[in-house]
Amino acid sequence: MRRVSACCFISLFSRTNQKHKDKDKDKDKLTQRSREAMENPMYNAGNNVEIAVRKANDSNHGCATNIVLNHDFSEGLHLWHPNNCDGFVVSAESAHPEGTSEKLGGNYAVVSNRKECWQGLEQDITARVSPGSTYTVSARVGVSGPLQGSTDVLATLKLENRGSGTSYLFIGRTSVSKEKWEKLEGTFSLPAMPDRVVFYFEGPSPGVDILIESVVITCSSPSECESVSQRCFDAGDENIILNPKFEDGLNNWSGRGCKIVLHDSMADGKIVPLSGKYFASATERTQNWNGIQQEITGKVQRKLAYDVTAVVRIFGNNVTNSDVRVTLWVQTPNLREQYIGVANAQATDKDWVQLQGKFLLNGSPSKVVIYVEGPPSGTDILLNSLIVKHAEKTPPSFPPVIENPAFGVNIIQNSSLSDGTNGWFPLGNCTLSVATGSPHILPPMARESLGPHEPLSGRYILVTNRTQTWMGPAQMITDKLKLFLTYQVSGWVRIGSGASGPQNVNVALGVDSQWVNGGQVEVNGDGWHEIGGSFRIEKQPSKVMVYVQGPSPGVDLMVAGVQIFPVDRQARFRYLRRQTDLNRKRDVILKFSGVDSSTLLGTVVLVKQTQNTFPLGSCVSRTNVDNEDFVDFFTKNFNWAVFGNELKWYWTEPQQGNFNYNDADEMLALCKSHNIQTRGHCIFWEVINTVQSWVQALNKNDLMTAVQNRLTGLLTRYKGKFMHYDVNNEMLHGSFYQDRLGKDIRANMFKTAHQLDPSALLFVNDYHVEDGCDTRSSPEKYIQHILDLQEQGAPVGGIGIQGHIDSPVGPIVCSALDKLGILGLPIWFTELDVSSINECVRGDDLEVMLREAFAHPAVDGIMLWGFWELFMSRNNSHLVNAEGDINEAGKRYLALRKEWLSHARGHIDDQGQFQFRGFHGTYSLEIINSSKKVSKTFVVDNGDLPLVVPIDL
């Protein structure tokens, strides 16, 4: 704890575990979508994700001079982070700051809604400072709000070290009144380089806004700072877009299938540039891909990540909002075309919106064009600016500091209802009362987490007079939640009579304006049902409400034993290690022969496992093959592969009769050369929006012919080359083929596929099976779906659980595996990914899923749905950063692979034997005595009895 100013003290815990709130909608000039993009931790270096290296806009403060980026707020709050408060940027060209008499010529930042003295505005400067150099700070600051007299504004450094915690370095202060701007000056020097350096402003009393016009931090000894300067320039600081703000007219720009026009204003002066003097419009657009473009061939390097920022809006054709995208068109030397989505946002005709994204080129292109596209034909795209710069390296995440997590402690007040409905309130005009007759036992998934526990009270909440589906019992839990903790949800639910059929019941959380799913279950009117789920909050909310909802209006709802508690993952891991030893290891007896046993006694034996045979695979894409770094990591750390898109029907036959198998062929060749097995994903996909338009347009007879041709063409071409096929993807969530061709089509797809390639295991594959958050794909529904297929003669050979999961809880996942395991079919996690803005928490999530799957006897393999940043379907889910740096989640994966290899050392006993217990897989053996060293290899396969391996010397 340290003194911040005369008005308050602050603990390290409170500073490191809060997040900034949503910004004031009335004051921010940008649209809501733009504000959310700028406030999103994905775009802030202070939250440990990659951002663009940007030099200050003032030409007098280049990279080697001013180390503060966006120093005059000309790019809004980009790179600046309000610390647990609100922030926005105001143009000073048309307004005076409140309480000041000075008119400014540029922008200034306002930090508002400050509840503590230490709250202010911060920027991560880790990559731009070095130890031993002296830095000078100069800033223009002001204040506004409820203030009598003057107050101090401070400049401070926050120094974070994973090993020794966080410390603070005072830089300087100035006394400020509401009447004018003041200069804040100071110096600092770092004797050693911490893991992270954050510069920030703080100081005034709560309620007083801090105003910041400009910030300059310079190195007082330029020669000392030369290496930092060089590092900044080497990172490709310059914007590679020529004429990015149209100050040179339309030079270097062109229309992509349309015309472009330069403007200083439009719509009778109602539309003016957000910054600069001009903007361009893409007009006379007849296709959604028409837009404004610039060729950047030769300006971007392969295997380097680039940040992209564009300021756009739309105009005309009575379209008030539309998706606008930044896209790369890439042509390879062999004339293959690629389209890479970079950024997208909902743009409006009311205000400018900022698009931000990132891209990386794996190969060496012959031509690269960046363009803006998206809205329907007839709608103009307006572009104010486009910036493309090399992305800065991502600082590593630190494990979140969570004091007293209270694992297993229910945060729900009056869960037993011993105090009536105290603590609960009705959401809507429904009525709550207490009745008796609910189960006294904990729901099974909670029992797995909590162990021995007090029985439930038998009391439940009866909800009557429900006139909307969302009506039910509710409780506020804002102050009881801790950021980055994973919470398990558990309870019993039941519905009253009068329902027309099964009803969906949901434990939901209202987190500010967002809905978070805490678990769902389909309930019949025949008794109590367990409801379970999980959630995690990673951004400080202002209000969190939990409520139970779902049945149709008029149907009574009964809720009992609601529990929400943080889970102890480490305790679960200890249990899973024991299960892993039981299910994935085998006793091995090495029995030596060929020489006199007396001469072997005491001989040294070294056993080393070279490969665990359990399948650990990943999704790959054709473009990844061009990146040697990607291929190196993939081939060293995975033994199975699945293709992201290249085997799907819309990829292999995008237009009828126009086939593309080249990508899949090249990827198969790579896998074969590295002895990597492959899964075929997927032959068909039942979800209608994944079916190419020419297939959707076919009549019934032609569609049946096309389906048969697809099966014959694919499975004949690749017979024996794919070990598995996902035959018809996501049948629990789509029904395109069944609706058009009848119920038998699904089973017939399996039958025909088996006839064409009997060697391949044929899988069903679906999502949200394992997490309790989707009633359409509950384990019970999945089991019935598989049984229905088998009854029709479908040779279902395996169960695919995709595994796109949030905040996983082991017992919930294990419960689903236990249920599915009764079918006796091999279970695979086929598309596993987890997501968290904190790489350490992401690593925890990944470890939960990998350990649960590896420890469970019914699971036969795990496929990750990618591992490399920018080539995954979900943000904040990668294990390797775009330019090849392994992050904390990736290190966790590698540590588990190492843990699941067995090694043993000892001596041959008097029976001529050496015994150990090891994982299934391939082993090398060395026998060393005084006269010679002998090397052998052997394999440990699955089995209940000890494996006797004869070793002939």
pLDDT of residue 46: 28
- Residue 711 and residue 842 in one domain: yes
pLDDT of residue 79: 84
CA distance 309 to 353: 10
What is the percentage of the chain residues whose pLDDT exceeds 70?
90
- Residue 840 and residue 927 in one domain: no
Q: Is the peptide bond before 7 cis (omega within 30 degrees of 0)?
A: no
Average pLDDT value for residue range 567-590: 96
Q: Which amino acid is at 544?
A: V
Q: Is residue 416 part of a domain?
A: no
DSSP string, 186-217: EEEE-SS--SEEEEEEE-SPTTPEEEEEEEEE
Among 143-152, 295-304, 662-671, which is the least confidently predicted range?
143-152
Among 96-100, 309-313, 390-394, which is the least confidently predicted range?
96-100
Q: Is residue 244 part of a domain?
A: no
pLDDT of residue 221: 62
pLDDT tens string 508-530: 999 998 999 999 999 988 899 99
- Residue 868 and residue 923 in one domain: no
Q: Is residue 238 part of a domain?
A: no
Q: Is residue 450 part of a domain?
A: yes
Q: What's the DSSP call for residue 399?
A: P
Around Cβ 752, how many Cβ atoms within 10 Å? 17
Average pLDDT value for residue range 699-728: 98
Half-sphere exposure of residue 932: CA atoms within 13 angstroms, side-chain side: 6
CATH classification at residue 215: 2.60.120.260
Around Cβ 498, how many Cβ atoms within 10 Å? 11
Q: Is residue 63 part of a domain?
A: no
Which residue, among 638, 664, 630, 636, has the nearest Cα to 361 in the 3D structure? 630
CATH classification at residue 914: 2.60.40.10
- Adjacency order of strands within the sheet including 165-177: 81-82, 121-124, 196-202, 150-161, 165-177
- Greater confidence (429 vs 221) lies with 429
For 40, 131, 386, 388, the CA distances from 356, given in Å and listed in that order, are 11, 32, 10, 10
pLDDT of residue 525: 81
CATH classification at residue 797: 3.20.20.80
Catalytic residue flag (residue 238) = no
- Greater confidence (283 vs 125) lies with 283
* pTM of the complete model: 0.76
pLDDT of residue 526: 82
pLDDT of residue 105: 53
- Greater confidence (700 vs 301) lies with 700
CA distance 725 to 687: 17
Q: Is residue 71 part of a domain?
A: no
Q: Is 200 a residue whose pLDDT tops 80? A: yes
Q: 113 is in which domain, residue-wise?
A: 81-93+105-219
pLDDT tens string 73-102: 888 888 888 988 899 988 755 444 444 444
Average pLDDT value for residue range 690-718: 98
- Adjacency order of strands within the sheet including 933-940: 903-907, 604-612, 921-928, 933-940
CA distance 121 to 84: 9
Average pLDDT value for residue range 14-35: 30
CA distance 857 to 860: 8
Q: Is 57 a residue whose pLDDT tops 70? A: no
Around Cβ 247, how many Cβ atoms within 10 Å? 10
- Residue 772 and residue 735 in one domain: yes
Q: Is residue 226 part of a domain?
A: no
- Could you identify the residue written with the tokens 């909002």? 321
Give the residues across from 405 on adjacent strands.
none
- Residue 881 and residue 907 in one domain: no
CA distance 784 to 791: 10
Measured distance between the N- and C-terminal CA atoms of the chain, rounded to whole angstroms: 68
Average pLDDT value for residue range 177-192: 88
Q: Which tokens hold the place of 366?
A: 């012959």
Average pLDDT value for residue range 656-680: 97
Q: Is 38 a residue whose pLDDT tops 80? A: no
Which residue, among 292, 297, 300, has the nearest Cα to 368 in the 3D structure? 297
- Residue 718 and residue 854 in one domain: yes
The H-assigned helical ranges of 7-98 are 12-16, 32-39
- Residue 709 and residue 843 in one domain: yes
Give the residues across from 765 on adjacent strands.
800
Average pLDDT value for residue range 171-178: 90
Phi, psi of 209, deg, nearest 5: -80, 140
Which residue, among 118, 215, 204, has the nearest Cα to 153 in the 3D structure? 204
Q: How many domains does the chain have?
A: 5
Q: How confident is the model at residue 636 (pLDDT cuts 50, 70, 90)?
A: very high
Final residue belonging to a domain, choices 365, 390, 415: 390
Q: Is 952 a residue whose pLDDT tops 90? A: no
- Could you identify the residue written with the tokens 């006793």? 587
Task: Compute the mean pLDDT over every residue in the chain, rounded to the nearest whole number.
Answer: 88
**Pairing outcome for strands 604-612 and 903-907:** antiparallel
What is the percentage of the chain residues whose pLDDT exceeds 90?
76
Final residue belonging to a domain, choices 219, 239, 270: 219
pLDDT of residue 26: 32
pLDDT tens string 869-889: 999 999 999 999 999 999 999
CA distance 707 to 278: 53
pLDDT of residue 92: 56
Q: Which tokens hold the place of 760?
A: 């391949």
Catalytic pick among 392, 831, 839, 869: 831
Catalytic pick among 75, 686, 730, 883: 730
- Please, which residues have CB within 8 angstroms of residue 503's CB and are 6 or more apart in sequence? 495, 522, 523, 524, 550, 551, 552, 555
Among 177-181, 863-867, 895-899, 938-942, which is the least confidently predicted range?
177-181
**Pairing outcome for strands 425-427 and 529-536:** unpaired
- Residue 499 and residue 589 in one domain: no
Catalytic residue flag (residue 831) = yes
Final residue belonging to a domain, choices 510, 537, 567: 567
Which residue, among 513, 615, 600, 505, has the nearest Cα to 560 in the 3D structure? 505
- Residue 667 and residue 530 in one domain: no
Torsion sign, CA atoms 103, 108, 113, 114: negative
- Residue 709 and residue 844 in one domain: yes
Which residue, among 279, 228, 289, 227, has the nearest Cα to 258 in the 3D structure? 289
Q: Is residue 150 part of a domain?
A: yes
- Residue 862 and residue 761 in one domain: yes
Among 8-12, 314-318, 371-375, 446-450, which is the least confidently predicted range?
8-12
Q: Is 44 a residue whose pLDDT tops 60? A: no
Half-sphere exposure of residue 302: CA atoms within 13 angstroms, side-chain side: 16
- Residue 838 and residue 895 in one domain: yes
Q: Which tokens hold the place of 478?
A: 């804002």
pLDDT tens string 217-242: 988 765 445 444 343 333 345 899 99
Q: Is 13 a residue whose pLDDT tops 50? A: no
